[in-house]
Structure 1
Amino acid sequence: MVITDLLGVAKMAAITLDGRGRISHWDDTAADLFGVGPPRALGRPPAALLRLPREHRGAFEPKAFGHVWCGACTLARVDTGEPAEVGWWVYPIDRAPGEPGEPGAHGEHGVSVLALAADLRRLRRHGIGITIGDLLLAPPDGPAGAGAAHRRPASARLLRIEPALTAPAADLPDSSAGPLAGRLADLLPALDPAAAEKITARVLGLGCPALSLGLTIRLPLVPHTGGGPAAPPAPPVPSRRPRPARRDVPAAWEPLAYLGEAGQQIGSSLDHLQAARTLAEVLVPRLADFAAVELLERVVADSAPPAAEVDETTLMRRVAVAHNDDAGRWDEAVPEGEALFLPSGTPFVQAMRTGRPVHIRRVTSAQAARLAAAFGDRDLSPLFTGRALLVVPLIARGRVLGTFKLLRKPDRPGFGDLDLAMVDELARRAALCVDNGRLYRREVQVAEKLQRSMLPDDPPDVAGARVRYRYRPAEQAAQVGGDWFDAIPLPGCRLGIVVGDVMGHGLTSAAIMGQMRTAVRTLAAEDMRPDRLLRQLDGLARRLGEDYLATCLYAVYDPVERRCTLANAGHVPPVLVAADGASRVLPVPPGVPIGVGGEPFRTMAVDVEDGSQLVLCTDGLLERRDRDIDEGLEELRARLAGASPDLDGTCDDLLDTLAAGTPADDIAIVAVGFDGIPKDEVVTWELEPEPNSVPWIRAQVAARLAGWDLHALIDTAQLLVSELVTNALVHGAGSLGVRLIKSRTLLCEVHDDGTDLPHLRYTEATEESGRGLQLVSHLAARWGTHRTGSGKIVWVEQRLPR
């Protein structure tokens, strides 16, 4: 707050972020305000450390929020979880010469964001300090009690306090800009003079921290004797509460102006609890001297829809209190955040049950005692006695959300018809805002839960490959998206890898994403070539509707052949990192997105050596406001050059270096390490389609298992291979072959050129055939069939001995 030479003084925390959006400076005031010291804070993004509301996180992202932001939010302290009401002034800072991160400087990242924070609840209770130049008229906020009384007269009441900005330094008097610049420099971490000067100039150019105050002062009057010139009027104090009628506006219009501005303030946030707090603040002192808002606990926690019936068993929570009594007068008697049960006979429950306000023109001593009894053993009789009481229900869409009570002091007239009409209008607006905020939060939570439930939990444990994922949802609540990824074990120890991105955001995109992922898993089980799988997925999407559009990349890795086949549907290409560390973007044919149709998909194959890696991602990792996808892809390739075998470290490094701290889109990363299956653990036989091939292959299998020291599996393996080869001779066609693979299980595959897939069937007791697959199903850990380009494969798995 700046009034000519008059300056406010308050304790402020100074926090700086580096170019990656990580905390690089955290002072003692920040530790006291948020309940976490520098060792735990440094190097972490503020959104993760402080659980910032989603709608405010973008202000702390370097280069993502192009202007200064000031505002207030309620955060839970890190140490105790208690709510802290914090005012913020967040400035984007361009990197200054001589700062870390520039040529010739030490360190990697400079100051990209400066965030100043103050404890608004402490300021509201204890007041702010006042200075004129270097003369301190009142010290800054301190402990309550006698020390606070001398700083603010009892006749001065601070009703409302909000963060604001001064005009840029060019519009400020030198007497204001000078002290602001000097004291700001004291808050900054140790930087060289050029860096500190540039940051200070940046803050002065954007507007220094200020407070918008709603202040009432009881000013004693003395008669004017006519002697001497009248003193000039004091400069006005800025206020954000509803303004009284201007002289050029008819008095009859003042209630409409008040309702318009109050309604705008109540509806300015999507946070349902903030809407309730604002309701209490705009009611005092225009319509009441005391206001308290109490919501149903299930509305506060958004754990269930509002209750249809309210009684003494309904848990309530007081979410906001505002009054114009002395600071701290009712803090212990009616604290914010208190949970309570209200007896059925009270006006509070009566208002919610009937849906109509309860108005008591003057509360008698007996009534005050009964009302106070509803709040436990605290003596609240002085709060009610002799005052006018108005209890108003908050009802939206036919459901009770809570109630708020208004009290007027005995020396003030009771609530008139105009007052009742204005309170009723504000109650309807506030209830709708609270319910809209609750529904908005519920929709976001449902979309996030739906999205996460459809994504894989843990990477599969497969032979010849290692898989790791990372997923980071969009930090803006409205940006719940449709990114998906998966790793699918396929027959023959192969691995299917898919990454996709449904176009659009919101609940619909998350639902479409789930359908796409399920469809890919179903089609992959048919062991289709990647291009054919995408063609089938495209046809399915077009049958489901016009809105089913998505990009998708599907790859299949064969650890025996050491080959990866890929097909693309408009997705960003992957990066292949060779065993020697060289990285390149694979030139996968681009294709058109799923759901467009009309264009064929193509498969490309690339040989991959053991020790190489394939990294797939969605465009949320690559695309930012300061770079396009091609630049991001090249930066991704460069970051992966020389990547270590640690896939977890690779994924984390990509998120730390390439991803925005508050991404505007979902980010999915899949990293696959290609290890291959040793050649001496794979053996293949080509058989003549003759009956004497059966005993020969039995002997070959027994000899190979003995060489692998798997004697315990020989008898069962011989029986299984006999059944499969015999079945191929009888029902198959063309060439015949057997492949044995020792990996995490013992896999036996029998292939022939026939197209009819065998299936398990029921046989009667008198039938002489048809029991072979029943025997296979009983003896094998798993078995299955799939088609190939020239026929089919029937396979069985046996568990290896421990």
Structure 2
Amino acid sequence: MVIARGQPTVPAVQQAAGARDAETRAARDAEARAPRLLEQHLLGVARMAVIALNGHGRVSHWSNAAGELFGVDQEHAVGRSLTTLLRLPQEHRGAFVPEAFAAVWCGACFVSRVDDGELTEVAWWVYPIERPPADADPGAAGIRVLAIATDLRRLRDEGPGLGMGDVLVVSPSKGSLPASTGVRLLRVEPALVPITEDDTARLGRRLAELLPLMGPVASEFVSERVLEMGYPAVNLSVTVRLPIVPYWGAMPRALRIRPRAAEADRRLRRSTPSSVPKPRPTKDLETMAVRERFTFLGEAGQQIGSSLDHFQASRALAEVLVPDLADFVAVDLLERVAAADWQPPAREIDGTTTMRRVAVVHDDEVGRWDDTVPEGEALVMPADTPFVEAMRTGRGVHVPRVSRERAEQICAPFTDRDLRPLITGRALLVMPLIARGQVLGTFKLLRKPDRPAFDELELALVEELARRAALCIDNARLYRREVQMVQELQRTMLPDDPPKVAGARVCFRYRPAGQAAQVGGDWFDAIPLPGCRLGIVVGDVMGHGITSAAIMGQLRTAVRTLATQDLRPDQLLRQLDTLARRLGEDYLATCLYVVYDPVARRCQFANAGHLPPVLVSPFGDTSVLAVPSGVPIGVGDEPFETVEAVVEDGSQLVLFTDGLLERRGRSLEDGYDELRAQLTGATRSLDRTCDLLLDGLGADDPADDVALIAVGLDGIPKEEVAVWDLEAEPSMVSRARSQVAERLADWGLEELSDNVQLLVSELVTNALVHGAGSISMRLIRGNALLCEVADDGHELPYLCHADATDESGRGLQLVSFLAERWGTHRTETGKVVWFEHPL
């Protein structure tokens, strides 16, 4: 039979075996005493772990609750030493060695779980079951020590009520097995006093003290049954009224009611005449203090938890404490926590742990401590300071009055400034910030010398606030890390810098959604194509989150790969749609693909369910291009269509995703009207155009991703392009070299003539030998010198290895060596082989 009883400062545990109803008179007499006694002794709901050790210090009983608390089952725990089974702190291991089995020990410490290493704050009560004789062997077998453990955090959080402990009946001769005679009745409670006498009357009186509603008659009956049977075979049910603190509405936040208020109230009563109204009783003041405590905690928790930024949550923590509870508050977080690092916070805190001061709030004059304790400063605290002690032990450190000697010790590491005026003579309270078993940092509270030290009510209040604030800060840190992860994933899948191509200028902007859950799959790209052309793509994957960002990366890579094959826009979207349907049903996206030819001054468009682009003429007029809408990528079974539009030099083409236009209360048509109004009269600067669109359309904190790309369609002047039609005969090779040399001389590029003539000779010869039909050559002076040789053959040449006896295969090797870049691509009538030579 296990019965629990607590004290005001420790958790209470009760598990009773029952009995039949007591006599009516005894129950009535006990009923008057029950509320008062139970209010003193019943404090908390917790599952109690019961562990028994034998004379060798090894586990002989391991309850299910112990397995849940420490992460190891009974099979692996029984027979092992508790000091090696659990990762106990060095200072607490002495309580579980056979030499200390005659002493009672109570305390708390952080213990790492065996299965996952998570830190758990455990409260311990260790009691000797039987004091061995002086001449007895200290390592004798049998149960010698009973250890009770529980999760201290859960014990604090669960609130008033009863705790349940496991049943353990101990027999002197048979260990933990039931016995019919000589059974020892153990009460699992913080103030355990083992009953060693076989005295039914004494046991009954003790049981009546624990459970007043039973009365002495019923208590004696229960004792007789338990001692007679040797195991808990009686069921006991007791109904009690637990103390409840009701909600009385909002109260002022200030918490200045302290124990001295009761003494002041008594003095006031003695000095006040009977005709004067008496002040509020002390009991009312205590009730108000409790109500104010809950009100303060509720308001402070709401203010701290209202932000998803761990820096703002830290500042809110400091602001709610000043000036009600302190005159100076500073919040220091571990460097990894402040940086929202991917790695978890350090588990071992020592004098080398780096911290960062993230918030400082005080009620002194403005700027008073800015130079002494600046925000954002990196700190390394020595191990002997209260700050490291609080993080290592997991408990607050309270110094009621900081002496000069203590101030010298605390301020010694700061050799570049004098912190003694800040803390000398003040009350200091350092609280750790611990969430999910991990230390996040500390916050320190200071009171001026004219204010008293922190009392018990305030210490309990700050401790509870520290737990809530730590959870809010950790949630904000994890949220920030999630946002950074999604944004970094998306950023790595988007282009870094716009490409530099002849005849076109590119500028783009990307704004992620304001919420991490809304970050999605908007993408854009500008792809240089052969012939100085430019491929432009903008798309939007349906959905949000990491999955959409990953799909976006795959589709962008696919578009870049398909673009190198120089497909028509409709053919490219058809290939992309086929690929998306093969990858999965969730691969749905809208996409707009454009190819701009600066020589022909035309754009080719193909659309897959995306918003049409806007074209700005050189004179500032705007128009929404009539591009067929099409169906989204991944739907399938619908054809795509390519349309062409002739553009003037100096025009601007603007492509975007729906996040730029769609807003609550604004239709898509209204968004287009505002967009065109912003673009009317746009300047030549693409950067300014993009910024005006984002600012003017309210994209500072968008609900959806915004992808915007603006292209300046400048064209390549006609005098920078030379085109020749060549006859398919051997003599055309020498004529092609002469024509190229003449044009290079006109452009002032004579120094390139030798290399370019040699490269042209190889390409023309290759077209003459391996090509078919008519042959043409084009020379374009842009960012580099581009030479293209086209024929009607469909077989693409490729680079191969030529042995010493081979008569061919060296031409493309020479081109690859002398040219900066070279390549081939198909056309509607044949193929093109090209190379680029730097100017």
Question: Do the two structures share a fold, i.e. TM-score over 0.5?
Answer: yes
2:723 maps to 684
- TM-score, structure 1 length as denominator? 0.62
**Is the Cα contact below 8 Å between 2:342 and 2:481 reproduced in 1?**
no
Describe the SS at the equivalent of 1:783.
Answer: strand
Distance 1:734 1:506, change over 3 A: same
In 1, the alpha carbon distance for the partners of 2:366 and 2:622 equals 64
Which residue in the other structure is 1:778 paired with? 817
* C-alpha distance in 2 between matches for 1:413 and 1:717: 88
With over 3 angstroms needed to count, the CA separation of the structure-2 counterparts of 1:344 and 1:525, relative to structure 1, is same
* Alpha-carbon shift at residue 724 of structure 1 (Å): 1.6
- CA-CA distance at 1:401 after TM superposition: 1.4
User: Using a 3 Å threshold, how does the CA distance of structure 1 residues 328 and 656 change in structure 2: closer, same or farther?
Assistant: closer
**Does structure 1 retain, via aligned residues, the 8 Å contact 2:524–2:707?**
yes
Comparing 326-335 with 606-615, greater Cα deviation is found at 326-335
Code of the aligned partner of 1:795: W
The verdict on how the C-alpha distance between 1:217 and 1:574 changes in structure 2, with shifts beyond 3 A counting, is same
Residue 203 of structure 2 corresponds to which residue in structure 1?
A: none
**Counterpart in the other structure of 2:709:** 670
Identity of aligned residues (%): 64
Q: Equivalent residue for 2:628?
A: 589
Answer whether contact 1:365 1:386 (CA < 8 A) is retained. Answer: no
Alignment of 1:11-90 (within 5 A): none
Query: Is residue 401–residue 453 contact of structure 2 (8 Å, CA) maintained in 1?
Result: no
Where is the strand percentage greater, Structure 1 or Structure 2? 1
Letter of the structure 2 residue corresponding to residue 443 of structure 1 = E
* 1:764/1:231 CA distance change after superposition, 3 Å: same
Q: Tell me how far 1:606 sits from its aligned partner.
A: 1.5
Could you say which residue in structure 2 is the equivalent of 1:463?
A: 502
* Residue identity opposite 1:756 in structure 2: E
Taking the aligned partners of 1:338 and 1:656, their CA distance within structure 2 comes to: 31
Spell out, residue by residue over 1:370-390, the C-alpha distance to the aligned partner (whole angstroms, 9 max, x if none): 446566675759957696x76
Bigger radius of gyration: 2
Query: Are the counterparts in 1 of residues 253 and 296 from structure 2 also a CA contact under 8 Å?
Result: no
Displacement of 1:258 in angstroms is 6.3
SS of the aligned residue for 1:531 comes to: helix
What is the Cα deviation at residue 787 of structure 1?
Answer: 1.3
Is contact 2:780-2:787 (8 Å) kept? Answer: yes
Match for residue 394 of structure 1? 433
Match of 1:76 in 2: none
Determine the structure 2 residue equivalent to 1:166.
none
Q: Amino acid of the residue matched to residue 621 of structure 1?
A: L
1:500 to 539, 542, 554: 539
Instruction: Determine the C-alpha separation between the residues in 2 that align with 1:688 and 1:245.
Output: 112
Q: Please say if residues 789 and 832 of structure 2, whose CA atoms lie closer than 8 Å, have aligned partners that are also in contact.
A: yes
The range that moved more, 247-256 or 611-620, is: 247-256
Distance 1:347 1:497 in 2: 61
The answer to whether the Cα contact below 8 Å between 1:245 and 1:257 also exists between their aligned partners in 2 is no
Distance 1:275 1:730, change over 3 A: same
Distance 1:672 1:372, change over 3 A: closer
What is the 5 A alignment of 1:586-665? 586-665=625-704
**Alignment correspondent of 1:730:** 769
Q: State how far apart, in whole Å, the 2-side matches of 1:329 and 1:456 are.
A: 45
Structure 2, unmatched stretches of 5+, are: 1-250
2:466 maps to 427
Deviations 1:433-468 (A, max 9, x none): 212212222333344444444443443332222333
**What are the Cα deviations for residues 606-625 of structure 1, in whole angstroms up to 9, with x where unaligned?**
12233333222222322222
Residues 62-461 of structure 1 aligned to structure 2 (within 5 Å): 214-215=253-254, 224-225=272-273, 262-280=300-318, 292-302=330-340, 305=343, 306-319=345-358, 335=373, 337=375, 339=377, 340-358=379-397, 370-371=409-410, 373=412, 378=418, 380=420, 391-405=430-444, 425-461=464-500
Find the counterpart in structure 2 of residue 744 from structure 1: 783
State the partner residue of 2:795: 756
Instruction: Give 1:337's aligned amino acid.
Output: E
Helix, strand or coil for the counterpart of 2:666?
coil
Residues 510 and 706, structure 2, Cα contact 8 Å, conserved in 1: yes
Instruction: Name the CA shift for 1:588/1:383 in 2 (closer, same or farther; >3 Å).
Output: same
1-structure distance, mates of 2:454, 2:782: 85
Distance in 2 (alpha carbons) for counterparts of 1:262 and 1:356 = 21
Q: Name the CA shift for 1:700/1:332 in 2 (closer, same or farther; >3 Å).
A: closer
Match of 1:568 in 2: 607
Q: CA offset at residue 349 of structure 1?
A: 1.3
Instruction: State the Cα distance separating 1:226 from its structure 2 match.
Output: 6.7
Structure 1: tracts of 5 or more residues without a match: 1-211, 234-243
- TM-aligned CA deviation for residue 785 of structure 1: 0.6
* Aligned twin of 1:489: 528
Please give the alpha-carbon distance, in whole angstroms, between the structure 2 residues aligned to 1:774 and 1:336. 64
Query: Any conservation in 1 of the 2:728–2:775 contact (CA below 8 Å)?
Result: yes
> Which is further off, 767-776 or 327-336?
327-336
Give the aligned residue type for 1:489: P
Q: Tell me whether 391-400 or 356-365 shows the greater mean CA deviation.
A: 356-365
Q: How many residues align?
A: 575
SS at 1:795 equivalent: strand
Aligned counterparts of 2:255 and 2:467: Cα–Cα separation in 1: 28
CA contact (8 A) 2:779 2:785 kept: yes
- CA–CA distance in structure 1, aligned partners of residues 476 and 741 of structure 2: 69
Q: What amino acid maps onto 1:442 in structure 2? A: R
Q: Partner of 1:676: helix, strand, or coil?
A: coil
Q: Secondary structure at the match of 2:528?
A: strand
Q: Residue type of the partner of 2:828?
A: G
- Which residue in the other structure is 1:527 paired with? 566
Separation in structure 2 between the aligned mates of residue 652 and residue 621 of structure 1, nearest angstrom: 12
TM-score (norm 2): 0.59
Q: Structure 1 residues 453 and 329 mapped into 2: Cα distance closer, same or farther (>3 Å)? A: closer
Native 8 Å contact 2:607 2:630 kept in 1: yes
Distance 2:502 2:459 in 1: 74
Q: Does 1:539 pair with 2:606?
A: no
- Pair 1:625–1:291, CA change in 2 (3 A): closer
Task: Measure how far apart 1:772 and its partner are.
Answer: 0.7
Structure 1 position 516 matched with structure 2 position 540 = no
* One-letter amino acid of the counterpart of residue 272, structure 1: H
Match of 1:6 in 2: none
- Using the alignment, how far apart are the partners of 2:782 and 2:371 within structure 1? 70
Q: Secondary structure at the match of 1:620?
A: helix
C-alpha displacement of 1:680: 4.1
- Aligned pair in 2 of structure 1 residues 575, 226: CA closer, same or farther (>3 Å)? same
Shift of 1:750: 1.6
Moved more, 430-439 or 368-377: 368-377
**Cα distance 1:601–1:414, how it changes in 2: closer, same or farther (>3 A)?**
same
Alpha-carbon displacement from aligned partner over 1:741-763 (angstroms, at most 9, x marks no partner):
33333322122233222111112
**What is the distance in 2 between the residues matched to 1:587 and 1:382?**
71
Check conservation: 1:575, 1:615, Cα contact below 8 A: yes
- Once the two structures are TM-superposed, the CA of residue 341 in structure 1 deviates from its matched residue by 3.4
Give the corresponding residue for 1:91: none
- CA deviations 1:628-657 (Å, max 9, x no partner) are 112222333344345444444443443343
Inter-CA distance 454–343: structure 2 relative to 1 (3 Å threshold) = same
Q: Are the aligned partners of 1:462 and 1:493 in contact in 2 as well (CA < 8 Å)?
A: yes
CA displacement 1:754-788 (0-9 Å, x = unmatched) = 32221111121222211010111122232111111
